[in-house]
Amino acid sequence: MMVNPTAPAVEEPVAAGPAVPGPAVELIEVTRHFGEVKAVDAVSLSVQPGEFFAMLGPSGSGKTTCLRLIAGFEQLDSGRIQIAGAEATALPPYERDVNTVFQDYALFPHMTVGDNIGYSLMLKKVPKSERLRRVADMLDLVRLSGLENRKPTQLSGGQRQRVALARALINQPKLLLLDEPLGALDLNLRQQMQLELKAIQRQLGITFIFVTHDQEEALTMSDRLAVFNQGKIEQMGHPRDVYERPATEFVANFVGVSNWISGQLAQTLTGTAQTWMVRPEKIQMTAPRLAVPEGMCSVLGQIDTIQYLGISTRYDVGLRPGEAGQKESFTVVQQNGQDLPWTTGELVQLCWQREHMVAF
Ligand code: ATP
């Protein structure tokens, strides 16, 4: 477990939501196994009303199964699920006040955009005039007004995603589950939709539970996130806490890039043989110099590779064997200014503040 007494606690307010008493969703020791596979293994979590909650983890870590358990598409082996304070463990999907948006959108191809969005109102026999008004409101919300007579095949990926969102929101659910809804979009569109989705969620105050394997997406969009690994939650918290103070080595490696300090190097730098981690952007790279400022750690190395990333540059720096006691390298990320000051093979000094190290 992480121990870093010098790091300040990072707390951010949870988004304000409608006044519903208690959590929007609560999972208590929820388990779902498929034969030998522990897809979801005694998971407990609590999502607050109006919160944007992300489930993050690698492929196969149990995120989708967890979401399907909340929706009622999957049966639990043990544990309990509560939705808006009421027992939902045994309820079928249609009796839960929950809607789901899937990665493939699952639109009806033969229906128009307007009919896709208004389909559930049609099933409920909502009068046509009210149905059309509510569809128009939804089209407005997702910025698709004027496209209501198109078929899904006549839309772009981002537009189809918005139709799926409008269709899920038209019933005004208290809780919306989203399973990798932006997975099929290219990077630019994905980033644009991330902003739009977040803005819509804020505007409506609905609780969102969002599954993704993209750590940047989870960090930028969520109020809080849970990091899944092999059916269990490794850490749950605000994005900045999870990134700055990862609780386990798995979280440190999955969320962002980590430089590890252990053994001889840790002994030299900190006086303990503990394992430590420091993030690439916390490291300053300078020409070798002797004086190390008070409160800083420092190692010497040689630039092995340089990756130009546009907004920043990533350097892999091999540490001098005498420094690490073995061959090790650090990753350093620097914002780009006018020009790139470094070339491959250069000798450099890496410095960082001791308080930026996280101990494990
Ligand atoms: P991805 O990001 O790839 O969708 P995930 O984190 O959502 O992954 P799940 O889909 O929840 O992971 O799967 C968790 C584990 O459970 C995996 O090992 C998967 O193969 C297994 N699994 C999921 N559904 C079933 C099923 N119906 N039958 C058997 N095994 C399943």
Secondary element (H or E) of residue 138: helix 128-141
2 occurs within a structural domain: no
Lateral strand order in the sheet of 224-229: 98-101, 175-179, 207-212, 52-56, 224-229, 232-237
The total domain count for the chain is 2
The last residue of a domain, from among 226, 254, 282? 254
Distance CA 223, CA 239 (A): 7
115 and 205 within one domain: yes
Residues of the chain with pLDDT under 50: 1-14, 18, 20
Domain limits at 295?
259-359
Rg (CA), the chain: 24
9 occurs within a structural domain: no
302 occurs within a structural domain: yes
Task: Please give the distance of CA 120 from its chain centroid, rounded to a whole number.
Answer: 30
98 and 148 within one domain: yes
pLDDT of residue 2: 40
346 occurs within a structural domain: yes
pLDDT of residue 8: 40
314 occurs within a structural domain: yes
The reported pTM is 0.85
Residue 34 identity (one-letter amino acid): F
Q: How far is the CA of 40 from the centre of ligand 1 (A)?
A: 9
191 and 178 within one domain: yes
pLDDT of residue 326: 55
17 occurs within a structural domain: no
Q: What is the pLDDT of residues 272-282, one digit of tens each?
A: 888 999 999 99
194 close to ligand 1 (CB < 6 Angstrom):
no
pLDDT of residue 47: 96
290 and 345 within one domain: yes
Distance CA 95, CA 74 (A): 14
79 occurs within a structural domain: yes
5 occurs within a structural domain: no
34 close to ligand 1 (CB < 6 Angstrom):
yes
Q: What is the pLDDT of residues 214-233, one digit of tens each?
A: 999 999 999 999 999 999 99
pLDDT of residue 22: 83
Instruction: Label residue 339 exposed, middle or buried (CB < 10 Å: 0-12, 13-18, 19+).
Output: exposed
305 and 216 within one domain: no
103 close to ligand 1 (CB < 6 Angstrom):
no
Nearest CA to ligand 1 atom 21: 39
65 close to ligand 1 (CB < 6 Angstrom):
yes
The last residue of a domain, from among 254, 287, 321? 254
Q: How far is the CA of 138 from the centre of ligand 1 (A)?
A: 33
63-92 residues labelled b (16+ CB within 10 A) or e (exposed): bbbbbbbbbbebebeebebbbbeeebbeee
Q: Check which CATH number belongs to the domain holding 107 and give it.
A: 3.40.50.300
> Residue 355 phi/psi, 5° resolution?
-70, -10
Q: What is the pLDDT of residues 143-183, one digit of tens each?
A: 888 999 999 999 988 888 889 989 988 988 889 999 988 87
Nearest CA to ligand 1 atom 2: 59
